[in-house]
Amino acid sequence: MIDEALKERIQSLMDEAIADGTTAGISMMVRKENEELFYINRGYKNREEKSKIERDTIFRMYSMTKPITAAAVMILMEQGKLDLGQPVEEFLPGFANLKVEENGALRPAGKPVTCHYLLNMTSGLTYGGDETMAGRMIDEYLKECEAGMFTDRAVTTEEFANHIGTIPLAYDPDSSFRYGLSADILGAVIEKASGMRFGEFLEKYLFSPLGMKDTGFWVPEEKQHRLADAYELAEKGNMHPYTGNHLVISYKMDRPPAFESGGAGLVSTIDDYAKFAQMLLNEGSLNGVRILSPETVRFLTSGGLTAPQQEALGQWVGLEGYTYSHLMRRVLDTGRTSGLSREGEYGWDGWLGCYFANFPREKMMILMMQQRKDAGTIPLTRKLRNVVLMNL
């Protein structure tokens, strides 16, 4: 258990953030040495109806999906079905003739994209959003896919990945770092390597063994009332409901999607995600069930970028002092991070504000769940973790 004064301080920070419109609601859990130290929730899953966040509230994970995808890749590696050095074109023919955009012109890529480059976001793939040819082509394709989501033209995981392979890369594979669609391509690689749909693979090898009963790519009707609503900031701290489909992910999450996004598609609860994070802290096992070997977990939660790649990551404000590897951030220099951190720390966050950090030396985790557009790791997240880390 924790000191009541610490718990009250955390609750006060949450209440202030809800009152000033920073977030509609938030839930937070801290675990240490396989025990829950505390769980706190404040605010609403629906502000208009004053429906409060509960412990079983379901959240859209967005990029918190990525560490789960990375773990699935590790499972296939252990099974001998996937070599991280394999070119992606061996699974997805759309990656067979890669081009790189350079000074507005196209040339052949210097080397193939491998599964390892996808894991480290050094593949050359991006999320679009810029004025390059590649950026415009990705933006246009995402819009096309979103327009067809609820029609007979809905793109599948494999179709999506093969098409992305025909779009020019931003740089030669392994030469730089750029956050992008790499994890979505891994979802299709997992399908091809396993012979199963991505969601079926996750259910069989991760969710069912770990007891993650509320985690998946959609929310059945009987659970829809537990799905939190999302919000976006407006003027003067006001919040408006956000109901957009983003990155080919349905906001309503009310039906099985054709495209199961390895980069952003999952929903989960704080207790479900805690089981996944605790499995990693336990070096691959939970409640007597082994998911990965200790050696594989150490590999998954280590690694980093080359100097040129690290320089590219350095443009990301808020990730100072971190490196990136296997679809997660990892602390390199605790003196450079934007707040308190610990050696060995790793984790990630999501576009709508879900967040996790594991601290292997302390055998501790911090989990936060909220649904605010463009949240990721916002100041509120750092404030809360600072209070925890200076007291535990």
348-364 tens-digit pLDDT: 999 999 999 999 999 99
DSSP state of 179: -
Does position 34 have pLDDT exceeding 90, yes or no? yes
Return the closest-CA partner of residue 29 out of 318, 357, 279, 283: 357
Overall average pLDDT of the 128-140 stretch: 90
- Averaged pLDDT score across all residues of the chain: 97
Share of the chain above pLDDT 70, in %: 100
Count of alpha carbons within 13 Å of 136, Cβ hemisphere only? 5
What confidence score (pLDDT) does residue 321 get? 97
Q: What is the CA radius of gyration of the chain?
A: 20
- Strands 239-242 and 289-290, by their bridges, are unpaired
Does position 130 have pLDDT exceeding 90, yes or no? no
Using alpha carbons, list the distances in angstroms from residue 242 to 21, 149, 180, 221, 229: 14, 18, 23, 20, 8
Q: Are 343 and 361 in contact (CB under 8 A)?
A: yes
* pLDDT digit string, tens, across residues 57-80: 999 999 999 999 999 999 999 999
Return the closest-CA partner of residue 74 out of 290, 309, 358: 290
For the chain, the domains span: 4-74+199-389, 84-195
Does position 317 have pLDDT exceeding 80, yes or no? yes
Quickly state the pLDDT bin for 1 (edges 50, 70, 90).
Answer: low
Q: Are 66 and 263 in contact (CB under 8 A)?
A: yes
Does position 251 have pLDDT exceeding 70, yes or no? yes
Using alpha carbons, list the distances in angstroms from residue 363 to 3, 242, 289, 340: 19, 36, 18, 17
What confidence score (pLDDT) does residue 289 get? 98
Overall average pLDDT of the 381-391 stretch: 97
Ranges 4-8, 212-216, 327-331: which has the least confidence: 4-8
What confidence score (pLDDT) does residue 166 get? 98
Q: How far apart are CA 177 and CA 379, in angstroms?
A: 25
Q: Are 378 and 353 in contact (CB under 8 A)?
A: yes
The pTM is what?
0.98
Q: Are 99 and 108 in contact (CB under 8 A)?
A: yes
Looking at domain 4-74+199-389, its CATH architecture is: 3-Layer(aba) Sandwich (3.40)
* pLDDT digit string, tens, across residues 252-297: 999 999 999 999 999 999 999 999 999 999 999 999 999 999 999 9
What confidence score (pLDDT) does residue 232 get? 96
* pLDDT digit string, tens, across residues 82-97: 999 999 999 999 999 9
